[in-house]
């Protein structure tokens, strides 16, 4: 069975001076304009996604989180009630 490779297109309109600047940077880096734009966009996308997936905590906050994970508090009456309701609603058999 043959696999098909699909490629997507992203049209981009920009002011001429922006185009010239990007084209100059692409040429300086030895890449085609398309390669440069795709690589630059991918690098920016990876940076943004990594920032969104990372939680930054102070040392004190991190210690608090790890302490709670290692020694969780006993469930309260409200938590027990919520868990029971969740089981009743979502775990129908």
The percent of residues above 90 in pLDDT, for the chain, comes to: 78
Residue 11 has pLDDT above 90, yes or no: no
pLDDT at 88: 87
Q: What count of Cα atoms within 13 Å lies in the side-chain half-sphere of residue 85?
A: 6
Range 15-35 average pLDDT? 96
> What are the structure tokens assigned to 8, written together?
């997507």
DSSP for 22-89, please give it: HHHHHHHHT--HHHHHHHHHHHHHHHHHHHHHPPP--HHHHHHHHHHHHSPPPPPHHHHHHHHHHHHH
**DSSP code, position 2:** -
Kindly report, residue by residue over 49-92, the tens digit of the pLDDT: 999 999 999 999 999 999 999 999 999 999 999 999 998 888 76
């Amino acid at each position: 069975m043959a696999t098909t490779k699909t490629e997507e297109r992203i049209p981009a309109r920009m002011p001429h001076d922006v185009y010239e600047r990007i084209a100059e940077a692409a040429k300086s880096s030895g890449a085609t304009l398309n390669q440069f734009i795709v690589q630059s966009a991918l690098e920016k996308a990876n940076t943004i996604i990594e920032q969104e997936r990372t939680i930054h905590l102070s040392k004190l906050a991190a210690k608090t989180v790890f302490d709670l994970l290692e020694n969780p508090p006993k469930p309260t009456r409200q938590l027990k009630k919520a868990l029971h309701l969740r089981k009743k609603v979502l775990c129908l058999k």
